Amino acid sequence: MRYILLNPGPVSLSERVRKAAVSQDLCHREPEFFKLQDRVRSALLEVYGCDPAGWAAVLLGGSGTTALESMLASLLPRDARLLVIENGVYGERISRIADIHGIEHQTLEHPWTDAIDYAKLGPLLAGGSFSHLAAVHHETTTGRLNDIDRLAELCEQHGVELLLDAVSSFGAEAIPFESPALLACAVTANKCLHGIPGMCFVVCRRSALKKAADPPRSLYLHLPLWAEKQDSRTTPFTPPVNAMLALNAALQELALSGGWQGRHAHYSHLAGQVKRVLTRAGVEPLLSPGESSCVLNAYRLPKGKTYELIHDGLKQRGFVIYAGQGSLAAEMFRISTMGDISNYDMERLLAALQAVFSG
Ligand SMILES: *Cc1c(COP(=O)(O)O)cnc(C)c1O
């Protein structure tokens, strides 16, 4: 049975991307590979129109967390004073990474269901004790899209540099690359970009690579090493060549489907269809309208229905949804509409939701 994945990555692949992944055997020390690497790096910058003179897309092997850890461990100088915003699992992960690498930091904690408290954040940044702010753009824990324009503006005002976990938003949501405060974004291939797992990247200002941690905090995760080698058309370590072949095809598909704006409109349309069916069946969204990303929505489990019942009912019909994380597991479930989902798949999904929730 072919399952349609409605979890927040990995996603259902298009035939083109799936085939591209196994289309050739590539040696990573041959010109064919370097051409592919160049193409993927420039296509990634083109997604948001980042000028290659000032920005670099640095590719590396690993999941989204690898990108996040490499961004924090290498782009925070040794004397950085970091503030971390937490309103979900992924904000807390940033603090955990900082702990492990001995990066001094303070946290602005929120309950997982809350928006960022700007009334608290403003004075904290104005205090002048922080050089860097790390935050999650789309907090996949709840589907909340944190207001990143406002964050970037505050950072600009107070001369603070912004490091962003854009793992589940890059390719589908607006990101303020024009803000001088935005230093870097950590991203993975297998969420909104529709590639296969195994490859991730950091889009960062070239100036940030020059001011990176010295001495390095890690061998593999040190972005300046990857950037220097990739700029000179080589690679420090064996890259995930198949994931790169797939991402190359996926980026071509993204461009053909209207870029991030086209994907934003498409995801919003699909999520709206799901929301209408669920609301009619009495299932309530966790967040108020306007708070969620277009990528993923969280819903409260209706009375009398367990997550297992809903999950299994949908899986029998060919769809995989996602449970809540941690303490939210008993209260909610999540549906993402990323990936290659056809109109026919959507028709079947809406019918399956109706059957499972009204049954
Ligand atoms: C998926 C995700 C990650 C990284 O998860 P991996 O399992 O390491 O790929 C990080 N941040 C956010 C916001 C995510 O959605």
From CA 184, how far away is CA 208, in angstroms rounded? Answer: 8
* Tokens linked to 195: 């590639």
Given pLDDT bands bounded at 50, 70 and 90, which one contains residue 1?
A: confident
Report pLDDT for 16.
98
Give exposure, 142-179, as e/b (b: 16+ Cβ within 10 Å).
bbbbbebeebbebbbebebbbbbbbbbbbbbbebbbeb
Q: Give me ligand 1 centre to Cα 79, in Å.
A: 27
Other C-beta atoms within 10 Å of 99: how many?
Answer: 10
User: Which CATH number is associated with domain 15-256?
Assistant: 3.40.640.10
What residue spans define the domains of the chain?
A: 4-8+258-358, 15-256
The mean pLDDT of 99-125, rounded to a whole number, is 97
Report pLDDT for 289.
87
Q: Best substitution site from 165, 187, 190, 322 to test ligand 1's pocket, by max atoms within 8 Å of Cβ? A: 165
Residue nearest to atom 6 of ligand 1 (CA): 64
Contact 142, 287 (CB under 8 A): yes
Given pLDDT bands bounded at 50, 70 and 90, which one contains residue 287?
A: very high
Question: Is there a common fold for 4-8+258-358 and 15-256?
Answer: no
Residue nearest to atom 9 of ligand 1 (CA): 64
Query: Which residue, 14, 12, 11, 1, is CA-closest to 252?
Result: 14
The residue type found at 237 is F
Q: Give me ligand 1 centre to Cα 193, in Å.
A: 13
Given pLDDT bands bounded at 50, 70 and 90, which one contains residue 327?
A: confident
Query: Which residue, 76, 40, 72, is CA-closest to 58?
Result: 40
Q: Which atom of ligand 1 is nearest to the CA of 136?
A: 13
| Helix 148-158 with 118-126: angle, nearest 10 deg | 20
Given pLDDT bands bounded at 50, 70 and 90, which one contains residue 231?
A: very high
Residue nearest to atom 5 of ligand 1 (CA): 64
Task: Fold for 4-8+258-358, please state it.
Answer: Aspartate Aminotransferase, domain 1 (3.90.1150)
Is the pTM of the predicted complex or chain greater than 0.95?
yes
Residue nearest to atom 3 of ligand 1 (CA): 64
Contact 13, 194 (CB under 8 A): yes
pLDDT digits (tens, 9 = 90+) for 20-39: 999 999 999 999 999 999 99
- The half-sphere exposure of 279 on its side-chain side, counting CA atoms within 13 A, is 12
SS3 content of the chain, % helix, strand, coil (to 5): 40, 20, 40
**Cα angle, residue 92 at apex, residues 89 and 94 outer, rounded to 5°:** 115
Report pLDDT for 40.
98
Check if 268 has its Cβ closer than 6 Å to any atom of ligand 1: no
- Is the link from the previous residue into 289 a cis peptide, with omega within 30 of 0? no
Check if 188 has its Cβ closer than 6 Å to any atom of ligand 1: yes
Check if 136 has its Cβ closer than 6 Å to any atom of ligand 1: yes
Q: Give me ligand 1 centre to Cα 190, in Å.
A: 10
Q: Which atom of ligand 1 is nearest to the CA of 90?
A: 11
